[in-house]
Amino acid sequence: MAGYIIRRLLIMVLMILLVSTMIFLLFRTMPGDPTASMVDPSIPSEARQALLERYGLHESLWTQYTIFMGDLLRLDFGSSYYYNRPVLQIIQNRLPATLILMFTAMLFAYLIGIFGGAWMAWKRGTKLESTGITLSLIFRSAPTFWVGMMVILVFAVRLGWFPAQGMRTTGYEGTTFGEIFISLDFLRHLILPAFTAGLYFLATPALIMRNSMLEVLSEDYIEMAHAKGLPERQVLYRHAARNALLPVVTAGALFIGMAIGGQVLIEVVFSWPGLGREIVQAVTRSDYPLAQGCFIILSTVVMVMNLIADVVYAVLDPRIAY
Amino acid sequence: MGELVPELTIYSSLPESNLVNYEMAQELSEELAELGVQLNAEPTDFSVLLDIIYGEEMDYDAYTIGWSGRVERLDPDMFIYSINHSANANPGGNNTSRYVNQEFDALADAQRGEMDIETRREIVWDAQKILAEDVPRITLYSRANVQTYHHERFTGLENMPGEGLFNEWSPMVMEPLSDDHTVPVVASNVDITNLNPFGARSVYDWRNLRLIYDKLVRLSPDVEPVPWAATGWEIVDDITIDVTLREGMDFHDGMPVTPEDVKYSYEAFMALPDSYFAAFVQPIDSVELLEGNVIRFNMEEPYAPFITTTLTQIPILPKHIWEDVDDVTQYHNEHPVGSGPFEFVRLRDGEELITETFEDYFERPNIDGYIFKIYASPEGVLTDLELEVVDMVSYDLIPAHINQIKDNEGGRYGHLTITEVPDIGFFYVGLNNNRPPFDNKDFRVALSYLVDYDYAVDVLLDGYGSRGGAGLVINAANEFWHNPEVPVHNTYNPERAREILADAGFTWDSQGRLRMPLQ
C-alpha cells in the first residue's frame, strides 16, 4: 500500500509539471494582449511598453517559461496583473467561500442522493421511483442560473425568509475567518445558493447509487439475508447499500476536486464572492498568473482526490489490494 | 475606369460585450454591399481590438469602439487634441483614425495653450467645424446615464454626465431623510481591484479613492472648478500657476496636511510615466513651495486644462507614509490614509468597501459614511433594490431594468427615482484615414449617410441615448464646449450617399461594383 501511494505521488508530480506546461502554453496562444485589460487605452504607448517590461512579457517565450517553472518549483505563483497582488493571497481570500458553499451543497446532494438512490432501487418499478428519477433529472438539466433566480424569487422576494444576494449582511463587522464564516448571518446567506447547487448535484449520487444498488440487490447474499428473516431496513442499508457505495465514492472524490472551481453561474446569480467567478474573469482579462495559479491548483486537487478515492476503495472493499 | 474599391474589414464588438456596436457594423456592411462595396464585419474581443488599433502595423480599415465620458473629458483637450492631432497618429497614439490636417493641428495646439477660456472656446468651436467637414470618424450614438436611487431615504443626489450618481460630488452633498439610515449602500457591478493610487489603472479604481484622498480642486455638478483643499489659485503667467493650500486640514491618522505633502504627491506622479494620470502631469516642469502655504507649478509650456483636469485629478497623499515605500507602484496600501471626506474602514474582496465620514473634515458630508457593495449581476442589484438593501446604483441601468422600475408593477419599485442625463462619451466607427477608400474625404462623408442613427438609439438602445453624427466628438451634453452651429450630418440617406459618390467621380462598373475616381 505505502509503495503504491509513493509511486502514485511521483507520477502526480510529473503530471503536474506537464499540466503546468500545457496551461502556460495555452494562455500564451490566446489572442489578445494582457496589457489591454490592464491599462486604459488613453495611456501612451511608452507606458504600455513599460508595463510589458515590468511583467517580463517582452522576453522570449522560452525565457518566460523557464522563469515560470522556476517560480512554480518554489511554489511562487507570482502576482496577478489585474489586482497587482500575489496570486496565492487572492486565491486564499476567495477559496473558503467557494469551498463552504460547495461542501454544503455536496452534503445536501450526497445525503439525499445516497439514501434516495438506495430507496429508489428498493422501490423499483413503482411511481415513487419514476418520480424520483424525473425530478433529479429535471434539476440536473434545468439551467442553474434559472433555478437560482426562481429560488430567489420565491424564498427571498416573495416569502422574505432568506437574503437574496451576497454572503453576509451589508456592513457586517469582521475580518478573520471565524468572524466571517461562523455566524448565523452567514448561514442564512448560505442556504439558498447551497440549496440551488445541491439540487443540481443531486442527480449524480442518486442515479449512480440506484444503478449500483440494482446490481447488488440481485446478488445471492441479499437473498440469503432475506431468507434469514432480517428486517427490510437492515438488508437495505447494512447489506446492500454499503456494497453499492463504491462508485458513489469515486464520483464524490472527483466532485471535491472540481469543487474548487466552484459553480460560476451560482456565484453570479447569488453574488457569492467565490473563486469560480474569479477564474473566469482572470481568463477573459488575460491575467495569466492568476488563471495559471487557479488551474494548477485545481488540477492538483483533482489528482490528489483521485488518489484518495483509490485508497478509500481499498478500505471499503477489502478484496481490493494494491 | 478607376481602381476597384478594395474589399474592407470592420472590426466590431462581440455581441455579448456591446450589442449595439455589433449590430451597427453588420448594418453598415449590408448598406455598403448595396453600394457595391464589400465590407466584412468581424466581431472581435475588446483586448484583441485594442491590439489591432494600437499596434505597430496599423493594419486595419475600420472598427467600432467608444470613449467613455469621464468628468475630466469634459475639458475638450482629450476629444480635440489627443484623438485628432497628427502628433498622435503614430502607432500607439490615440489618433487611431490616423487623421492628419495641418489647419486642424494648428487649432488643436492653440486651444491647449490658450489660458483665456472664452478665446479657447472660440478655437475649440472652429476645430469642431473642421472635424464635421472632414469626418475622420463617424460617431454612432451616446448612451444616456440612467441611474436610480431610493428617494424615501436620501435626497440631494446629482446625476453628472459621464459620471452618473456615484460621482465625487453626490456623497458630499446628499442628505439622509431619516436618522436611522444615514449610511447609503451603493451597488456596483465592477469589483474593487486596487487601493493604491499609484497602481490605479481605470476610472473604477478611482471612484472610491477620490473620496478617501482629497484634491486641490473639485469639479462641481455644473463642471466649474471649485477650490477645495486649496483656497484658490492665481495664474501668474502662461506657464506659472500658484495654488494656496487650505490651512488646518488633517489626514485620517491625525497628521496635518502640509504643502510638502502636495509637492510630494505631484512629484511622485510626475516620476511615473505609466500611471493613470501620466498625461495630466506631463506638462509640469517643477513644483516649488513659496511663503504662506503657496505651491507654485512651473509648466514646460502653456497648458489650459491644468486647473480643470490636473488639479482636479491628482490626489494629495501623506508624504510621511509614502516616502518610506520602496516601489510605490507595488505597495499594497491595504489601509489607505488620506485627507478626504470619507475614511477607509475595511474592504472585503468581492463583497464590499466600508467607509465612514471623516469627522474633522472642513466640510463634513451629511451622511455618516457609505458602503460600496459589489454585485455579480445587474439582476442581483435589481432584486436588492426591490428588497431595499441597496440605496443607489453606480452604473447605467440596462433598458429592461429601467422599464421594469418605471412600470412599477405591484408597487415594488415605488421608492425608487430614475434619473437620466446624456453622456459626453460616445461610440463610433473608426476609419483608417491613411488607406483607400477612407483616405478619400467624399467617401467618408458618403459613408456617414449610410448609418441609421435612429436605429441605434430608438431600437437598440430603446431610446436611452442620443444620436451621433459625422465627425462629432463634443456632443450637446457638454454644453459649454459643444458648438451648436456646426452642421453635423446625422441622417440616414443612402440616395444622398450615392449622389455624393457620383459627384466625387466614383463610378459603378457593369457588375455594380464601386470604383475609385480616376486620379
Q: B452: which 3 cell numbers?
A: 441609421
| Residue B498 touches partner A, C-beta closer than 8 Å | no
| Binary contact (A171, B371; C-beta < 8 A) | yes
| Residue B378 touches partner A, C-beta closer than 8 Å | no
| Binary contact (A40, B202; C-beta < 8 A) | yes
Which segments in chain A show pLDDT lower than 70?
Answer: 31-48, 257, 260-262, 321-322
CB pairs under 8 A between A and B: 135
- The alpha-helical segments, DSSP class H, found in B231-332 are 259-270, 278-281, 310-313, 319-322
Whether residue B220 has pLDDT greater than 70: yes
Interface test with B, best of A27, A39, A45, A280 (most B CBs within 10 A): A45
Helix (H, G, I), strand (E, B) or coil at B381: helix
| Binary contact (B54, A165; C-beta < 8 A) | no
**Which residues in chain B are closer than 8 Å to A288, comparing Cβ atoms?**
none
| Binary contact (B47, A33; C-beta < 8 A) | yes
For residue A76, the distance in angstroms to the closest alpha carbon of chain B comes to 17
CB A181 within 8 Å of CB A273: no
Q: What is the 3-state secondary structure (H, E, C) of B85-98?
A: CHHHCCCCCCCCCC
Whether residue B343 has pLDDT greater than 90: yes
Residue B9's identity, in one-letter code, is T
* Cis bond before residue A44 (omega within 30° of 0): no
| Binary contact (B201, A273; C-beta < 8 A) | no
Q: Which chain A residues in 195-214 lie under 8 Å from chain B, judged by CB atoms? A: none
| Residue B388 touches partner A, C-beta closer than 8 Å | no
Q: A285: which 3 cell numbers?
A: 482579462
| Residue B519 touches partner A, C-beta closer than 8 Å | no
Using CA atoms, how far apart are residues B519 and B516, in angstroms rounded to an integer?
9
For residue B273, the distance in angstroms to the closest alpha carbon of chain A comes to 6
- The alpha-helical segments, DSSP class H, found in B324-430 are 378-386, 399-407
| Binary contact (B274, A47; C-beta < 8 A) | yes
Residue B6's identity, in one-letter code, is P
* Chain A, nearest residue to B328 by Cα: A84
* Among B193, B202, B383, beta carbon nearest to A83: B193
**Which residues in chain A are closer than 8 Å to B278, comparing Cβ atoms?**
43-44, 47
Mean pLDDT of B109-125: 91
Using CA atoms, how far apart are residues B381 and B379, in angstroms rounded to an integer?
5
pLDDT tens profile A107-156: 999 999 998 998 888 888 889 888 989 999 999 898 888 999 999 999 99
Interface test with B, best of A92, A170, A177, A180 (most B CBs within 10 A): A170
Using CA atoms, how far apart are residues A218 and A121, in angstroms rounded to an integer?
11
Residue B436's identity, in one-letter code, is P
**Which residues in chain A are closer than 8 Å to B82, comparing Cβ atoms?**
42
pTM score:
0.84
pLDDT tens profile B136-175: 999 999 999 999 999 999 999 999 888 899 998 999 999 9
For residue B348, the distance in angstroms to the closest alpha carbon of chain A comes to 8
| Residue A183 touches partner B, C-beta closer than 8 Å | no
Q: Smallest Cα–Cα separation from A213: which of A70, A314, A113?
A: A113
Using CA atoms, how far apart are residues A82 and A287, in angstroms rounded to an integer?
6
Q: Smallest Cα–Cα separation from B277: which of B201, B329, B204, B218?
A: B201
**Which residues in chain B are closer than 8 Å to A46, comparing Cβ atoms?**
92, 273-274
Q: How many CA atoms lie within 13 A of A179 on its CB side?
A: 6
| Binary contact (B276, A43; C-beta < 8 A) | yes
* Chain B, nearest residue to A49 by Cα: B274
Output phi, psi for A163, to 5 deg: -70, 155
CB B161 within 8 Å of CB B222: no
Q: Which chain A residues in 28-57 lie under 8 Å from chain B, judged by CB atoms? A: 31-34, 36-48, 50-51
Whether residue B404 has pLDDT greater than 80: yes
CA angle, corner B367, sides to A157 and B213, nearest 5? 110
Helix (H, G, I), strand (E, B) or coil at A271: coil
pLDDT tens profile B1-19: 788 999 999 999 888 778 8
| Residue A154 touches partner B, C-beta closer than 8 Å | no
**Which residues in chain A are closer than 8 Å to B374, comparing Cβ atoms?**
271, 273
Helix (H, G, I), strand (E, B) or coil at B6: coil
Q: Smallest Cα–Cα separation from B248: which of B363, B365, B362, B364?
A: B362
Using CA atoms, how far apart are residues A108 and A106, in angstroms rounded to an integer?
5
Q: Which chain B residues in 190-249 lie under 8 Å from chain A, judged by CB atoms? A: 193-194, 196, 199, 201-203
Task: Name the β-bridge partners of A8.
Answer: none
| Residue B351 touches partner A, C-beta closer than 8 Å | yes
* Among A31, A83, A156, beta carbon nearest to B194: A83
Q: Smallest Cα–Cα separation from A172: which of A186, A160, A161, A162?
A: A186
Using CA atoms, how far apart are residues B163 and B219, in angstroms rounded to an integer?
12
Using CA atoms, how far apart are residues A284 and B45, in angstroms rounded to an integer?
9
CA B412, B416, B422, B428: dihedral to nearest 10 degrees? Answer: -40
* Among A31, A156, A166, beta carbon nearest to B48: A31
Q: A9: which 3 cell numbers?
A: 505521488
| Binary contact (A45, B91; C-beta < 8 A) | yes
DSSP state for residue B358 in the 8-state scheme: -
Q: What's residue B132's pLDDT?
A: 94
Helix (H, G, I), strand (E, B) or coil at B292: coil
A232: burial class by Cβ within 10 Å (0-12, 13-18, 19+)? exposed
Strand B154-155 with B175-176, pairing: antiparallel
CB B486 within 8 Å of CB B128: yes
Using CA atoms, how far apart are residues B293 and B260, in angstroms rounded to an integer?
9
Sign of CA dihedral A95, A101, A102, A104: positive
Q: Smallest Cα–Cα separation from A136: which of A117, A119, A122, A155?
A: A117
Q: Interface pTM (ipTM) of the complex?
A: 0.81
Helix (H, G, I), strand (E, B) or coil at B177: coil
Whether residue B206 has pLDDT greater than 80: yes
Strand boundaries in B246-318, DSSP class E = 284-290, 294-299, 315-316
**Which residues in chain B are closer than 8 Å to A84, comparing Cβ atoms?**
193-194, 196, 199, 329-330
Interface test with A, best of B11, B13, B44, B47 (most A CBs within 10 A): B47
Output phi, psi for B273, to 5 deg: -70, -15
For residue B472, the distance in angstroms to the closest alpha carbon of chain A comes to 19
**Which residues in chain A are closer than 8 Å to B371, comparing Cβ atoms?**
170-171
For residue A180, the distance in angstroms to the closest alpha carbon of chain B comes to 10
